[in-house]
Amino acid sequence: MKELKINIDEVYDLNVNIKIDTSKLVCPLPLLKTKKALSEMKSGEIISVITTDENSLKDFRFFCEKTGHILLKQEKISNKYVQIIKKK
């Protein structure tokens, strides 16, 4: 089976500053990689994270609620999950 490549710029009309593909990583690794990237970003910048772990949907929602970052979008595309987050 051919792996799906997601081009965030084509899927969403957003100015994404950082893109992370954590496909095939399981929790907590996608969240840890996101947290590290966010720590190096400026307020208002946008990060997209692609995951394959369906638990990441609730994990990223909870993470954003607790940290104050803005979860702009979550969506399942084929066998992947896309999280779009704006840094507080």
Catalytic hit among 18, 27, 71, 72: 27
Helix (H) or strand (E) holding 72: strand 70-77
CA dihedral 31, 37, 41, 46 (to 10 degrees): -60
- The residue type of 55 is N
Q: Does 64 qualify as catalytic in the annotation?
A: no
Q: How far is CA 46 from the centre of its chain?
A: 9
The residues annotated as belonging to the active site are: 27
